[in-house]
Structure 1
Amino acid sequence: MRKGFANAAGLVLGFALDRVFGDPRRWHPVAGFGSAALALERRTYADRRSAGVAHEIVAVGGVVGLGLMLRRGGVAATALATWTVLGGRSLAGTGREMADRLESGDLDGARRLLPSLCGRDPEVLDADGLARAALESIAENTSDATVAPLLWGAVAGAPGLLGYRAINTLDAMIGYRNDRYQRFGWAAARTDDVANLVPARVTGLLTAALAPVAGGRAADSLAAWRRDAAGHPSPNAGVVEATMAGALGVGLGGVTRYRHGTESRPRLGDGPAPTVPDLRRAVRMSEAVQVAAVLVAAGYALAAGRR
């Protein structure tokens, strides 16, 4: 019981720290992990899946080991780990800033801001394309940046929080289907898929339940999930983007240009293409889902502690 309470309290306190302070502006631990992973890659890289598996084990294993040591610190350690891995306030703030720039006609400023949300090529996007890219990123990152780490923290405390963030960061670094990472990044991409299977579906359920926050209906959100999510190349992004599209009454997907190539994404939702007001509604939905997620995670941690 005591361990469950400490875990729940640490998650709630860490979430509050993120809401108040956001990401650390300097010396961010996740950025430090990324630099360490890049240095490790210089030693482990080979154009083989086995090399990527070894890279994943060493990088993630080291972070989980750090989390095991931090676990002895109780509430304070869990709160610090939670604050370190969450990115909910920054996600919402960037979404609102993108909407501000698009509304003012500052397309150059919006293009400069887009890389902080996703890896798409901003130079080929007009205002509508930028709004769609930002909205899809907010939907996916609501799960990746908040719901998933909170749920892993509820299950495994500080090791779960830090381990998940390491997995997700490695996927963002090397989980690509290009010439360099097709084989070496395979383990990072597949591990991230597995780590997000449950969190993405919890995010989808919360999005549907909270659809009225953005003026939508739960039934429309769930219908988009059932009809459209499976067509997405990601088993997890399809769920969160489809439920967001249904909740907002917009249509997502289509031609998606990255710096490494172009993909054709299936249509998610049956409404019109999103506009700037829809982007603001998506930010509002994201913040509501984040609050619901910390309550779910804390409740699970307390229940697990009783068992």
Structure 2
Amino acid sequence: MLSVRLLLTEVAAVETALVQGVEPGRAALARIVSRDASNLSPDEVREAALESLSENLSDSVVAPLFWYVVAGLPGATVYRFSNTADACWGYRTPRWEHAGKVAARADDVLNLLPARLTAALLLPDPRRWRDLRHQAARTPSPNSGWPMAALALAGDLRLRKRGSWVLHDTGATPGPTHLRDALRRVRRTALAAAVAGALAARAVHLLHLRHDPPPEGER
């Protein structure tokens, strides 16, 4: 249900590919984003990689842990099915219009709390949450803007999607050092989320035992 290592590896591979040139960087980026990467500049390739890194921290780590705490393995499984269905079907094409709309709406609902929790983990300073809300609202998605804006503010970076939106436009243009720093930040955040999820799941389990203890012979 989780994919921390793959996420970090694929995003790091984008920077490694950019060392060889923009075309290899675009090809590496195309493995992790759905947008057309064929005409992106090196700066835009890094920005898109960082956006994918932050969004998938929510989708692939925090949200599955959140739904595991709430509803156990069935909850995490249903969430991952919904999220994967959205990624596969959530496109406005004649073939996928109906299924894609259902998957996208389900994914939006299931990610409402995890996306905001991810943002809070990336940007734990409450004094900056007003700016976080303002930046997150710049994207059309009800959820993905939150972790992306949090990563942008935490790293003082500008993130953008050409012709659509810009997050933290006074931030620095991401470079190789920024991407490596973001990877470390996301790795620490994923670890913190895993520890918090384990503790929360244990607390929920103990609470259930207190209210509904097992039969004497099963203790």
Q: Structure 1 length normalisation: TM-score?
A: 0.63
Pair 220,109 (structure 1): closer, same or farther in 2 beyond 3 Å: farther
Following the alignment from structure 1 to structure 2, what is the Cα–Cα distance between the partners of residues 157 and 287?
A: 24
Conserved 8 A contact 1:117-1:138: no
Conserved 8 A contact 2:122-2:151: yes
Match of 1:99 in 2: 15
Match of 1:28 in 2: none
Aligned match for 1:230, one of 100, 113, 137? 137
Could you say which structure has the greater relative contact order, defined with CA pairs below 8 angstroms and 6 or more residues apart? 1
Please list, as runs of the form range in 1=range in 2, the aligned pairs for 1:159-238 lying within 5 A after superposition: 159-209=74-124, 218=125, 222-238=129-145
Match of 2:187 in 1: 287
Structure 1: which 4+ aligned runs deviate by more than 4 Å?
none
What secondary structure is seen at the aligned counterpart in 2 of 1:253?
A: strand
Following the alignment from structure 1 to structure 2, what is the Cα–Cα distance between the partners of residues 150 and 86?
A: 8
Please list, as runs of the form range in 1=range in 2, the aligned pairs for 1:148-163 lying within 5 A after superposition: 148-163=63-78
Conserved 8 A contact 2:157-2:172: yes
Let me know the Cα RMSD of the aligned residues. 1.7
- Size of the aligned set, in residue pairs, is 206
Amino acid across the alignment from 1:89? R
Give the percent of matched residue pairs that are identical in Structure 1 and Structure 2: 37
Aligned match for 2:60, one of 145, 150, 174? 145
Aligned match for 2:166, one of 259, 262, 267? 267
Deviations along 1:39-65, one digit per CA (max 9) or x if unpaired, are: xxxxxxxxxxxxxxxxxxxxxxxxxxx
Please list, as runs of the form range in 1=range in 2, the aligned pairs for 1:1-307 lying within 5 A after superposition: 85-102=1-18, 104-209=19-124, 218=125, 222-255=129-162, 264-269=163-168, 270-307=170-207
Deviations along 1:237-287, one digit per CA (max 9) or x if unpaired, are: 0111111100010111241xxxxxxxx332211313322221112111111
Q: CA deviation at 1:190?
A: 0.4
What secondary structure is seen at the aligned counterpart in 2 of 1:196?
A: helix
Q: Structure 2 length normalisation: TM-score?
A: 0.87
Unaligned segments of structure 2, at least 5 residues: 208-219
Following the alignment from structure 2 to structure 1, what is the Cα–Cα distance between the partners of residues 10 and 99?
A: 32
What secondary structure is seen at the aligned counterpart in 1 of 2:26?
A: helix
What secondary structure is seen at the aligned counterpart in 2 of 1:267?
A: strand
Following the alignment from structure 1 to structure 2, what is the Cα–Cα distance between the partners of residues 284 and 221?
A: 21
